[in-house]
Structure 1
């Protein structure tokens, strides 16, 4: 595994901030490396340095003669009126048949190859850029936040591409699931230094926690030893017979240094204000249609969402997830039907566009104080501000000098300080680093209110979502199972190529002469959803009872008791089998409707 790119004793400063302070790393042509670090640590700067788009203050970037460097461009490289195949041929110099062959790997349909590339959605344009990247035959790729705004399907295609890629990889991403699936090494940029760890991001974070606990225990032992030595010295240095011992102990004391606890800057925790848990229906829609004056995005929407659920909204880009969220939070009027919130709902909204409406002359501190619920202490405000990387002098910055990412984080921080029992969040993790996304997931798991959210981050979605609503082919429906089951279905569809074309072109049509399947009524669909959830609760309860019986079987002392427990286990197995058949029947009824 030859080294193809090296960074040696690198130094880079912006004003008072030391981004690189003697940093060094070596990248080979077969390592898959995930680059992580806190927001503002300098990850993007490091990528630009390695690409030689930015110069170091001191140090050196060493490129092997064998290096063929490729990077996923964030800007638009397309010409006006240029088709997909035209761009691929111009960019790579390869013939059309070769371009078509590579495009097929990203499930770009033949019809799309001759379509104007700028008319495609952002996700499809990313697939085109990935195909162009592969046509250049690189042996090292540098990707800076490649999953931003990509839908699940395109993320999975990108993963397949990177897993099959024979060269090396350096990828910056806040998406922990994506890093875990594509990278087998982790490179952390922290306090200006680079540390390489031979394992994926999960293993790295676990190791980091183990090292932190080890260092904390060692520091505790050192402090105890220090106290013992200081007590001995204080008692004995004035005594002539023990003064030499005291001097010896003083030398030992000088050598007892405390360790700098690893990963201290990664500890981020925050909480939403406490709200009173509620029960019953939080949101009900009847024959709802959503969209715009000249375009209907989805119709005949029959939903009934419960208080206390954390509902993940899923679906491909362009299917209408954001339109649905804008409608339920009141920023977009329904086109037809009704939408009704439960009594006493206090709704808080985080949307990608909100940060552009902030008052430029307010400081960070002033904005957060204005947003905070009555009774919030200054300490609580400072804690939330620090969690979102606003601390020290940065809380006095006027909003007009903040970057787009900083403004977005500020809006989310303000939301944490308000008193809402319903939160609507549109891609809340897009501008947050891995540690802060984890902290946000922790806070949402503890939050007793209702959350309706969308995210392309699978790890975040898996942790937070307790229910799933799918936006697909002009319908918005409860997905009748877990987020993991949804991922499984999408992966199978992708592998089979079942929806690669009609995801962009509006859905498959029904063959001539074939009747359109009858649709369930809203009440029928809700009844099936309730039946499915009730069956799932029964199965979960049976599983708990099975564990109790298995534990009891290990402790019984008589044959009669053992026989009784085994008999109940047999009966329980039969009940579970019947419940699973009932669940599958209900699930299939809902699936056939979708």
Structure 2
């Protein structure tokens, strides 16, 4: 196992960890979280022996192989499939031995090399690489392309695929979902769940962590605090700690009441559609961790629009093509005031191209986009931070806006986005990606738009800023169009989904989970079509093997269905109990000093009940997914 004992590390003169402790057991999957700049990536570099240990002990088993995503591609004159396949270094070594033996006509060496290849099941490695590439959104035609032919974002995917090919005992993943679309993120979740090695994951994507990890390592005040369970469990445990530490001070009580009233208002307006119910559930989770929300250093809001024309935008028979590909074909859409649109579709399907048509950066080749009078768009593009002037300060950026604020007004406004007085005057050249993204968001908020279009806004944002953005959009009364690989943000904000696929943009009649299940099935079907068998296996033997597998699989479904019914009854009981605890906590007298004991007992019972309910919900979802997967495999 990997052990950190009283570990201290620095970045230059800045101390990052001081006497920190953590243990990672074989097969354990842990999310490493903390605000930007606390030392998460530096800790990875320390584990990889790229940053020295200042004091303490870092213990790694001698026989452990540690895998990670390489920072730079060594050479670009290699095709994608070979690059990913050679991520399996053992296979790469044996394959090179085969090539050398063949070129030298050394039959003895060739026999030994093929024997070694068989021992490591080398014949399966290229197929495994193909499955990874399919899952991450690549097509057959991409396999033979040189790395130099791929854009930066797709090269990031190739480096991730190469890392996943490694026969690692411990896999280090730093923000693996960046540059992925939400469909590829869903596939990666499934892949990591079945991965047998240990994994340490740096991520600000709470839903991704919920699906993958069994523990959270939180870097805070130069220490590492370990919490068992997924990210939702961490938030509940952290919330309970803060509630007890702060004794429900006025800020927390005010935040809790604000969240409750907001959620009730939304419920009153929400339809029974699955999308609306997804938003209700996401907001209720915010209510459960109100104390954590209250500790967020960032709190901002989009200003109320002066006008809200309806409809805001009408798209008629829109067509657009690049020289080698038709992207949009006869698209007809209407955007109404107050719409909350989640734009979904795999990378390359045309989501960003559609957004550029809507904001006027690209002109339709035929058809038209009719923007109603009074529409004011706040547009956050994928590469928004590149449009900032890195030599200027945040305040200079503010003073360059329309309706120029005074110097003090600009500082006060930037303060809401976490910029101190000193930072307001600094050149942003030295700012982190997250700080630059926050500034870009601040400039959009200041424009007072009535339509917000966000294209992957979270790539550089830490969890606290994502939460603040989530809350700000929840309370925004204008329309929103959102593209993001952050499933939590997408589910909590969107009331409807526009699906971009095969040149069309259609309304998806279902919720986000349903959409992702369909995409995963499509990926799995494509992978099944391209599976290979062991050399020498006949079609008859393969059919017999499949028949036996189907029979075994069908027998698995029944017990899972029985367990589902039992879980559903238990969930009903817990939901009733939880409603009772929430009712008790609405009693103001419970927060009097004389009732401290009752409050603590109520909090413990409420936390325990929430944890039990969460565990059952997770098990229920696991069973549902398992049954669907079994049915898919057996074609029943």
C-alpha deviation, 1:69, in angstroms: 0.9
Tell me the residue number matched to 2:124: 98
Tell me the residue number matched to 1:573: none
Distance in 1 (alpha carbons) for counterparts of 2:157 and 2:457: 24
Distance 1:314-1:219 versus aligned 2 partners, 3 A rule: closer
Q: Is the 8 A contact 2:79 2:143 kept in 1?
A: no
Distance in 2 (alpha carbons) for counterparts of 1:430 and 1:406: 12
Distance in 1 (alpha carbons) for counterparts of 2:52 and 2:458: 30
Taking structure 2 as the reference length, the TM-score comes to 0.66
2:480 is aligned with 1:451: yes
C-alpha deviation, 1:372, in angstroms: 7.3
Q: Deviations over 1:423-442 (max 9, x none)?
A: 11111111111121111011
Structure with greater helix percent: 2
C-alpha deviation, 1:106, in angstroms: 2.1
Correspondences of 1:268-287 after superposition (within 5 Å): 268-276=298-306, 278=308, 280-287=310-317
Tell me the residue number matched to 1:60: 57
Aligned partner (choices 239, 253, 270) of residue 209 of structure 1: 239
C-alpha deviation, 1:446, in angstroms: 0.4
2:333 is aligned with 1:335: no
Tell me the residue number matched to 1:435: 464
Distance in 2 (alpha carbons) for counterparts of 1:208 and 1:376: 40
Distance 1:425-1:27 versus aligned 2 partners, 3 A rule: same
2:502 is aligned with 1:473: yes
Distance in 1 (alpha carbons) for counterparts of 2:164 and 2:327: 35
Tell me the residue number matched to 1:408: 437
Q: Over aligned residues, Cα RMSD in angstroms?
A: 3.0
SS of aligned partner of 1:181: helix
C-alpha deviation, 1:100, in angstroms: 1.8
Distance in 1 (alpha carbons) for counterparts of 2:391 and 2:153: 36
Tell me the residue number matched to 1:36: 33
Distance in 2 (alpha carbons) for counterparts of 1:88 and 1:452: 38
Distance in 1 (alpha carbons) for counterparts of 2:166 and 2:369: 51
Q: Is the 8 A contact 1:10 1:59 kept in 2?
A: yes
Task: Out of 392-401 and 87-96, give the one that drifted further.
Answer: 87-96
Q: Deviations over 1:516-557 (max 9, x none)?
A: xxxxxxxxxxxxxxxxxxxxxxxxxxxxxxxxxxxxxxxxxx
Q: Deviations over 1:297-352 (max 9, x none)?
A: 21201011111012111111111111111111111111111101122101111113
C-alpha deviation, 1:111, in angstroms: 6.0
Distance 1:265-1:350 versus aligned 2 partners, 3 A rule: same
Q: Is the 8 A contact 2:7 2:53 kept in 1?
A: no
Aligned partner (choices 378, 393, 397) of residue 367 of structure 1: 397
Taking structure 1 as the reference length, the TM-score comes to 0.70
Distance 1:406-1:138 versus aligned 2 partners, 3 A rule: same
Tell me the residue number matched to 2:511: 482
C-alpha deviation, 1:124, in angstroms: 6.1
Aligned partner (choices 2, 6, 9) of residue 8 of structure 1: 6
Aligned partner (choices 178, 188, 205) of residue 175 of structure 1: 205
C-alpha deviation, 1:151, in angstroms: 1.5
> How many residue pairs align between the two structures?
457
Distance 1:367-1:456 versus aligned 2 partners, 3 A rule: same
**Structure 2 portions without partners, runs of 5+:** 96-121, 251-290, 531-636
Distance in 2 (alpha carbons) for counterparts of 1:264 and 1:337: 48
Tell me the residue number matched to 1:70: 67
Q: Is the 8 A contact 2:309 2:372 kept in 1?
A: no
Distance in 1 (alpha carbons) for counterparts of 2:55 and 2:413: 36
2:396 is aligned with 1:398: no
C-alpha deviation, 1:107, in angstroms: 5.5
2:384 is aligned with 1:354: yes
